[in-house]
């Protein structure tokens, strides 16, 4: 009875919660499947700017799983302006089951991320002030927060962070009505008024390594 009452209150407040049960991933099996990813993301998941592939080593499994599923479903990479997302979608389609996705995510999570170089010219000091709005979800050190569906940012390539901020601002990402968490991020990206501020934020995040 108590459970029913609690659920009723949540629904009345428009706070319906979707529970997702993810399959447990097998890193050993994921290593074999990861062969498809190596060409772009690198043998250690380090990413490659020339191929527009972000660092995925050490990223949380729940985030990698969600993004792979979003690519497969066209929730991400479905916008015609998302050139690089469109490149990723057919790759995600090769993972035919949720178990395969979980396995790859488990393997990438097991990889130790390497320090990424600074490629964006920005003012890290100014970026620290602008990053204040990001702390509530992504954490003071960019460590991420599963409870708030915010991925880890620390250690990610600065050029990739800048691109994603711009994509959210432009509605290239986070516009799909099924991208619940992307829709949460879009208004936050809108507060980044200029490219200079985006560069500064990326520079600050890069300094947190």
Span 155-185, pLDDT tens digits: 999 999 999 999 999 999 999 999 999 999 9
Please state which CATH number belongs to domain 116-209: 1.10.760.10
Domain ranges of the chain: 24-114, 116-209
The lowest-confidence range among 15-29, 78-92, 97-111 is 15-29
Percent of the chain with pLDDT over 70: 89
Asked if residue 102 lies in contact with residue 115, where contact means CB atoms within 8 angstroms, the answer is: no
Question: Which of 2-11, 36-45, 96-105, 196-205 is the least confident region?
Answer: 2-11
CA pair distance 72, 92, nearest whole angstrom: 6
pLDDT for position 21: 53
Q: Flag whether pLDDT at 12 surpasses 90.
A: no
User: Which of these ranges, 1-15, 127-141, 181-195, has the smallest mean pLDDT?
Assistant: 1-15
Phi, psi of 206, deg, nearest 5: -65, -30
- Domain 24-114, CATH number (from 1.10.357.10, 1.10.760.10, 3.40.50.300, 1.10.10.10): 1.10.760.10
- The yes-or-no answer to whether 24-114 and 116-209 have a common fold is yes
Compute the average pLDDT of residues 94-101. 98
Higher pLDDT, 139 or 2: 139
Quote the tokens at residue 4.
């029913």
User: For tokens 């890290």, what's the residue?
Assistant: 124
* Token pair recorded at residue 34: 């990861």
- Tokens describing residue 44: 């250690």
Asked if residues 126 and 84 have their Cβ atoms less than 8 Å apart, the reply is no
Question: Over the stretch 15-53, which tens digit does the pLDDT of each residue have?
Answer: 333 344 567 999 999 999 999 999 999 999 999 999 999
Beta bridge partners of 145: 150
Q: Residue 76: what pLDDT?
A: 97
Query: What is the model's pLDDT at position 105?
Result: 98
Residue 205 has pLDDT above 60, yes or no: yes
C-beta separation of 201 from 122 below 8 A: yes
For residue 22, the model assigns a pLDDT of 60
Nearest 5°: phi and psi at 150?
-105, 120
56 band by pLDDT with thresholds 50, 70 and 90: very high
């Amino acid at each position: 009875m108590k459970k029913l009452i609690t659920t009723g209150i949540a629904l009345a407040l428009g706070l319906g919660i979707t529970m997702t049960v993810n399959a447990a991933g097998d890193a050993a099996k994921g290593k074999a499947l990861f062969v498809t990813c190596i060409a772009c993301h690198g043998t250690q998941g380090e990413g490659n700017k020339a191929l527009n592939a972000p660092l995925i080593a050490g990223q949380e499994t729940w985030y990698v799983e969600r993004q792979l599923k979003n690519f497969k479903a066209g929730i991400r990479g479905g916008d015609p302006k998302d050139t690089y997302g469109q490149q990723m979608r057919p790759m995600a389609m090769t993972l035919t089951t949720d178990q395969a996705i979980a396995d790859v995510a488990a393997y990438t999570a097991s990889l130790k991320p390497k320090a990424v170089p600074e490629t964006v010219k920005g003012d890290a000091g100014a970026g620290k002030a602008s990053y204040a709005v990001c702390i509530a979800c992504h954490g003071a050190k960019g460590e991420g927060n599963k409870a708030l569906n915010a991925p880890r940012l620390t250690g990610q390539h600065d050029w990739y962070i800048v691109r994603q901020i711009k994509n959210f601002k432009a509605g290239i990402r986070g516009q799909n009505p099924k991208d619940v968490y992307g829709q949460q991020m879009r208004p936050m990206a809108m507060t980044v008024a200029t490219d200079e501020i985006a560069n500064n934020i990326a520079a600050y995040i890069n300094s947190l390594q």
